[in-house]
Amino acid sequence: MSERIAVYPGTFDPITNGHIDIIHRATRLCDRLIVAVARNAGKGPLFSTDERVDLVGAEIESLTAKGLRIEVHPFDNLLMHFAESVSASLIIRGLRAVSDFEYEFQMAGMNAKINPGIETAFLMSSDRNQFISSRFVKEIGRLGGDISHFVSPRVAERLAVSFRSQKDEGSED
């Protein structure tokens, strides 16, 4: 029996507790999970690709220490081409709410046309993580709100440092 490899793609800018929950649960569906960090400069990420890969890697250390086979890789090509390059047979997508479903459904359909041999599985966010989005975490953190319920202390600190440096750069004008 061949190894079942899954890819969980995202921008992860920043990685949230919701992402970690999906990662942990996705490991039950495969032998090896690859967290694929999209370069996606079009979204204007706060952190560089390398910083996001490092943050994701640090956040999953506790899971890999338990023997779960999780890797983190950047990618900047079509998701299905990346999945093929790592021999994945499964794409994992997280759904927070019904509003996510239409977009994800269309994307899964397009991906199936590109490569019908790679399935897409949707995992619903747990109740405590349904409302978390990286965009809202950044907005709350940038405005000085408490983001400790949404991200790990390590990520919260990295965000605080980033916001302080942005503020310092802005005050020089």
Q: Could you write out the DSSP letters of every residue in 99-135?
A: HHHHHHHHHHHHHHHH-TTSEEEEEEPPGGGTT--HH
Is 134 part of the annotated catalytic residue set? yes
Length of the chain: 173
CA-nearest of 17, 20, 24 to 66 is 24
Domain boundaries, given as residue ranges, for the chain: 5-130
Among the residues of the chain, which ranges form H helices? 17-26, 49-65, 79-85, 98-114, 134-142, 153-171
Catalytic residue among 4, 24, 39, 96: 96
Q: What is the pLDDT of residue 70?
A: 98
Q: How many CB atoms lie within 10 A of CB 117?
A: 10
Q: Tell me the whole-structure pTM to 2 decimals.
A: 0.92
Catalytic residue among 52, 93, 125, 134: 134
Q: Give the integer Cα–Cα distance in Å for 30 and 158.
A: 31
Q: What is the pLDDT of residue 46?
A: 93
Q: What is the pLDDT of residue 107?
A: 94
- Which of 3.40.50.620, 2.40.50.180, 3.40.50.150, 3.30.1370.10 would CATH assign to domain 5-130? 3.40.50.620
pLDDT digits (tens, 9 = 90+) for 56-65: 999 999 999 9
pLDDT digits (tens, 9 = 90+) for 85-98: 999 999 999 998 77
Is 32 part of the annotated catalytic residue set? no
pLDDT less than 70: residues of the chain: 41, 43, 168-173
Is 2 part of the annotated catalytic residue set? no
Q: What is the pLDDT of residue 156?
A: 96
Is 138 part of the annotated catalytic residue set? no
